[in-house]
Chain A
Amino acid sequence: MTAAISILQALLLIVAAPLVRGTIARLKAILQNRRGASVWRPYADLLKLFRKEDLVPTTASSVFRVAPRAVFAATVAAVLFVPVLHAAAALSLAGDFIILVYLLALARFFLMLGAMDGGSSFGGMGASREALVSTLAEAPFLLSITAVAIVAREMSLSGIARWSLAQDPSRISAVHVLAFAALALVAIAETGRIPVDNPTTHLELTMIHEAMVLEYSGPSLAWIEWASSVKLSLVLALLVALFMPWGMMASPSALGMALAIAAFLLKFVLLAAVVAVGESSIAKLRMYLVPDFLGVASALAILAVVFTAVMR
């Protein structure tokens, strides 16, 4: 039973990912006083892309075709570690958050390879920028989750979620606030949102993620777009599971399932709204300021880890 729910929650994240993206886009449009596309638009886009054909540059090798599938596979594998509906993910090991971070790094690695293999200069530029951002984002990513793990005395994401469920929500813990702040900043960097990267830009010199996928088309592009949506949902689900997991069901039951799905939808809509509002009110940082942005995240994450020894 629990295994079925765990698989279900992973599938939920993967299938609902484009919806999350569509919601954010719709909310941003409303904030900008436009009507905006329907929230189901990303699904239509994916279907359209899957029906088209792959155009491959003549200078590209087999890496170019393999990369998008590898990206999707790695991202989906990472999803299996995150608890969404109940505090047990499909896969749960001690230290699985490290595996998660490196699965995302693997996905990024293939993306960068594919971008460079495409042969255009923008691909190389996007890849190098992505390398910079991801290198700086990795430390705070790991440290913030480590801080939470130290406080919870649990080594797996599911264990941490279980511990957080048992906590009193009205008590503000310094470690968690700092870790949340650090992880939120990292989330912005990892998912390529404003202020680090603009996902809707058409100016090549301001692109990071978009520059890497400039050469892709057809099903390859579909896999990459879907993988990027799944990554966004994954990071949001991670934030929810670590810091605000209340609503997850303790034991399998129909009522618990309904509650868990409702809580999941509510929290995701809220987070989508926060992302939309944030993106609409802040300007994108210039590239040389991004390391400083991630430096703040690192400082907060380090402080969170040190605080586990200082404050209760």
Chain B
Amino acid sequence: MLISVLLIPLLGAFAVLACRSPRLATRVALTIGALEMLAIGNVVWQVNRSGVLTAGRYLRADSLTSFFLINIGLIFGLVLTYSVGYLRHIPEGRFSSPRWFYGLVFLFLFTMVSVYLSANLGLLWIFVEATTLASALLVGYYNTEGAVEAGWKYLIVCTVGIAFALFGTITLYLAAVRAGVNPVDALDWSTLMSAAPALAGMRDLVKLAFVFVIVGYGTKIGFVPMHSWLPDAHAEAPSPISALLSAVLLNCAMYALMRFDAITCRAIGSGFSHTLLLIFGAVSIAVAALLMIVQHDLKRLLAYSSIEHMGIVAVGVGIGGPLGLYGALLHTFNHSIAKTLLFFSAGNVREHFGTLRMDRIRGMARFLPWTTGGMLVGGLAIVGMPPFGLFISEFLILTAAFTQGKYWVAAITLAGLSVVFGALLHHVQKMLSGERTQPPGETATWLPGAPKVLLTDIGPMAACGAALLVLGIRIPVSFVELLRRAMAVLS
């Protein structure tokens, strides 16, 4: 059962690559995507029934896993739908046909799902590194100067960062072995969780391990100051890929960090690790918010917003407790939907206006009504306005901060949110109104006679908007239950 969730995208990648014609590739890709979503649904249902699912020694799915699997399944389905239309716009090149796109995307999916299903911290590391490798070619997909530079920077910075995470993993392994855990099992997460109290004697090593892990996986999450790759990579990648990167990959890395944090808290108490999380989170929020004011490029703006929101999640985990952790998990989900919506809108904007520079985009409301709606909804959601979901999760995190006395962190978070509110709405509002400054069709890449905006472009956006509303007004009870169980796994 678990294996199927891994095998479908892996084999599917090769199946898509083997297709000759783009239309066949698209159809195969959609089929495989649907199969994968079914497999994920199956796993989630089974975990719901029996608590924990394992396959062999190295694969494991508990409630936290199924929560994140729902996340990835949903976003992936939306991205796949959107890509169908988006791929019309990508110029033909050496690796630029739809079958390469879908092949790489499925490989990327395989690595991310494997991260979620890893029972073993070493395997977790291997697959997080694999996500970097799988997505590097996707980041550099357009093969322009900016894309190649972004891809290179992404590859190098993330590989270095993840190498530090490997050091942290090894140090934790060392601490476990020295504390008496059987070396064969000393990287297994559930074994480490149960043996964690025994690690209390190896304080220094556990602390050292966590420092390296938060720096390492934090590079992948996009914490300041390790974030230098993120704006470039998310801006230069094709929009569906940017959505995958921002919405899913960041959550993936955060998941790895959460697993480590759980062990560390159980071993030496939450003081050390949570302080670090709060520091990284608060700094990320502050720096990202300030940098959002001076952005010119729409997708870079959205990338910095991702950094900021990951900072909020880190703050939530760092505050901990039922409110903080619940808010953090909910926020990862809400953020991914809102960010996906925004990146889809950005993709439509790019294809219609030919540019992503916000000072050149005017009059969106008149020419792209649906996209405008999507951008408005997404923009309002991402800055935390009710009735959208992010308001709830941010409110929970801030409440937790105040009740636990972390006033400074709460103040910085609030300040950051305010700055982001102003900056984002300022930028978006400018784009929506006014006369268009450049004529359509010159720089846009439309096929003659083809409809300008497809259903597959708008449909996913509408779905996102609906989801955000639902999560903002009334979260389904089963979802709440899943979140509660996921939290229980971590504490």
Consider the complex of A and B and state whether they touch directly, i.e. have CB atoms less than 8 Å apart.
no
Chain A contacts to B: CB under 8 angstroms: none
